[in-house]
Amino acid sequence: MTLRAKPLLGFFTLTLGGGMLAGFISGPSMKIYQIFAKPRLSPPGFLFPIVWTVLYILMAISAYIIFTSGSEKRKSALAVFAVQLFFNFFWTILFFNLQMYLFAFIWLAILWMLILLMIISFYRINKTAAYLQIPYLLWVSFAGYLNFMVWILNK
């Protein structure tokens, strides 16, 4: 497989750029993380951008693998990728800007299901692309715990 720089750069721009844009939009609102009651297992705030950067890089590489696969199933798999990215982007706004913790948790549950569907779709095309998404699924599972507990602790 030869490296195709434009599509790879496009996926990096899409994932990392989307994450940066969500962070920019929610930046001032993210300070609430320091104020509200958090569950016992809450990591320090500085860890979130590090983890998300790694996850966005893995998403981009995974989507690139699917895009360049030549599979007839790649369009539907990348459509699931795009929908989950949309849900990912707006969760930050729902949680931090709008402070809609219960709705954000439900939104995150839908995102979790979309990630699982994406992994299954990717697996049918390329196992490596699917495996690269497992850390994302695990992190969103943990984020679900954090989101739910923030809702419970800050009613």
Q: Cα–Cα distance between 94 and 91 in angstroms, integer?
A: 5
Q: Cα–Cα distance between 112 and 119 in angstroms, integer?
A: 11
Q: Does any domain span residue 78? A: yes
pLDDT band at 45 (very low <50, low <70, confident <90, very high): confident
Q: If you average pLDDT over residues 17-43, what whole number do you get? A: 87
Q: Does any domain span residue 25? A: no
Q: Does any domain span residue 118? A: yes
Please count the CA atoms within 13 angstroms of the CA of 57 that sit on its side-chain side.
Answer: 6
Nearby residues of 124 by Cβ (< 8 Å), 6 or more positions away: 73, 77
Q: Does any domain span residue 13? A: no
- The pTM of this model reads 0.93
Q: Does any domain span residue 146? A: yes
Question: Which amino acid belongs to residue 81?
Answer: F
- Domain tally for the chain? 1
pLDDT tens by residue, 87-134: 999 999 999 999 999 999 999 999 999 999 999 999 999 999 999 999
Q: Does any domain span residue 17? A: no
Q: Does any domain span residue 130? A: yes
Q: Which domain holds residue 79?
A: 55-65+72-155
Q: Does any domain span residue 11? A: no
